[in-house]
Amino acid sequence: MSRRGASALLVIVSAVLLWTGCADGSSADGSAVAPGAAPPAAGASGRSPAARPAGDGSGRSRATAHGDDPGPAGSTGQRTDMAQEPMGGRTLLPHYRIVAHYGSVGGGALGVLGEGTPEQAARRVLAAAAPFGAGDRPVQPAMELITTVAAAAPGADGLYSSTLSDDAITPYLTAARAHRMLLILDLQPGRARFLDQAKRYERFLREPDVGLALDPEWKMGPGQVPGQRIGSSDAAGINEVSDWLAGIVRHDRLPQKLFAVHQFTQSMLPDRANIVARPELATIFHIDGFGARPDKLEKYALLRAAPPFFTGVKLFLTQDSNIFSPAETLTFTPPPDLITYQ
């Protein structure tokens, strides 16, 4: 998310979080709490123990079915010892193109994902993903849920970041599984370490259909306050998270896991060349920032990734000037691997 209006948004979101019961109080760009049941723990094989509803195979759009389709839940034609991606197979990128909505609970001020119930949000994601089925890859729909929220106030721990409870996240995982989507947990750490916050959600990240996104815009150093400046992260802080996450994938024999790093200025990742690509992860540099079309294209050309990394782009539904259509987005060079709407 761009810094423009960040200070004002911090105040708005703080009120939303207090109303909905975020664990730590005030916040910046992000999220609140809804009740729900805790997710089941991953089994020894790393396979999600919950059945993943797959529908009856009829009348589904290209965004929700393809030749690698694992079929209905309980199908006997699938291996039982290896977890699959929601839409089938063991590899996300470059096999799929991922289309997501971004936000959190508490309303649209936090992003389009927060409008309505998790089920309503999931259906909007499917509608947004469907036009991308005309491209050269099958589409994997996703929901990117802000789970730690940079805060204007230090909070009890002094880290300027609030955390969503497991009960707030679970309804989104349930809705994602009902529609064979990925759930992506987004971290805005304030003065906390990315790794510490990621470990807070280890029980979710051990699931085969849950990915992770880091947002250096909200990574603050000592004496820095979210919303007053654009944050940054060195490669070491990114690499320690990816090393830990890749270890989970190996240990639990999970399919390739999405790992996104947000960026809209070079200074947010000053030593990006030292970030490590890991075979267990689909590592994406996700290009944020809103504005006019020429500005977005220039930023995309500047920050796009080269193999073995992948490239994502965020499209702002109300803040972009003349938002790119799905067909136009697929003409970017290279076409984005991840498209997120906020």
pLDDT tens for 169-188 read 999 999 999 999 999 999 99
Q: How far apart are CA 137 and CA 87, in angstroms?
A: 12
Query: Is residue 240 scored above 70 in pLDDT?
Result: yes
Query: Is residue 3 scored above 50 in pLDDT?
Result: no
pLDDT band at residue 209 using 50, 70 and 90 as cut-offs = very high
Contact 172, 183 (CB under 8 A): yes
Q: How far apart are CA 10 and CA 303, in angstroms?
A: 27
Q: List, for residues 267-309, the tens digit of each pLDDT value.
A: 999 999 999 999 999 999 999 888 899 999 999 999 999 999 9
Q: What is the mean pLDDT of residues 29-42?
A: 35
Q: Which residues pair with 219 in a beta bridge?
A: 190
At 303 the pLDDT is 97
Provide CB contacts within 8 A for 306, sequence distance 6+. none
Q: List, for residues 63-77, the tens digit of each pLDDT value.
A: 333 333 333 333 333
Q: What is the mean pLDDT of residues 103-110?
A: 79
Q: Mutual orientation of helices 118-129 and 166-178 as an angle, nearest 10°?
A: 40
| Domain residue ranges in the chain | 6-34+87-341
Name the percent of the chain lying above pLDDT 90: 70
Q: List, for residues 118-164, the tens digit of each pLDDT value.
A: 999 999 999 999 999 988 999 999 999 999 999 999 999 999 999 99
Provide CB contacts within 8 A for 184, sequence distance 6+. 100, 142, 143, 144, 145, 210, 211, 212, 213, 258, 260
- CA–CA–CA angle 124, 128, 133 (5° rounding): 135
Structure token digits, residue 168 = 């707030």
Q: Considering the chain, what is the average pLDDT of its residues? A: 82
Contact 151, 25 (CB under 8 A): yes
Name the percent of the chain lying above pLDDT 70: 76
pLDDT band at residue 107 using 50, 70 and 90 as cut-offs = confident
Query: Helix, strand, coil shares of the chain as percentages rounded to 5?
Result: 30, 15, 50
Contact 89, 68 (CB under 8 A): yes
Query: Is residue 24 scored above 70 in pLDDT?
Result: no
Query: Is residue 88 scored above 60 in pLDDT?
Result: yes
pLDDT band at residue 40 using 50, 70 and 90 as cut-offs = very low
pTM for the whole structure: 0.79
Contact 332, 313 (CB under 8 A): yes
Strands 161-163 and 139-150: antiparallel
Q: What is the mean pLDDT of residues 194-211?
A: 98
Among the residue ranges 51-60, 163-172, 177-186, 214-223, the one predicted with the least confidence is: 51-60
Measured CA to CA in angstroms, residue 315 lies from 75, 87, 151, 288, 340 at distances of 37, 24, 24, 8, 6
In the block, which residue shows the tokens 């997120």? 340
Among the residue ranges 6-10, 43-47, 85-89, 214-218, the one predicted with the least confidence is: 43-47
At 53 the pLDDT is 33
Higher-scoring residue by pLDDT: 203, 50: 203
* 217-248 burial: b if 16+ Cβ within 10 Å, else e: bbbbeeeebbbeebbbbeeebbeebbebbbeb
Structure token digits, residue 324 = 């790119």
Contact 54, 72 (CB under 8 A): yes
**Topology of 6-34+87-341 in CATH?**
TIM Barrel (3.20.20)
Provide the CB-side half-sphere exposure for 118 (13 A, CA). 26
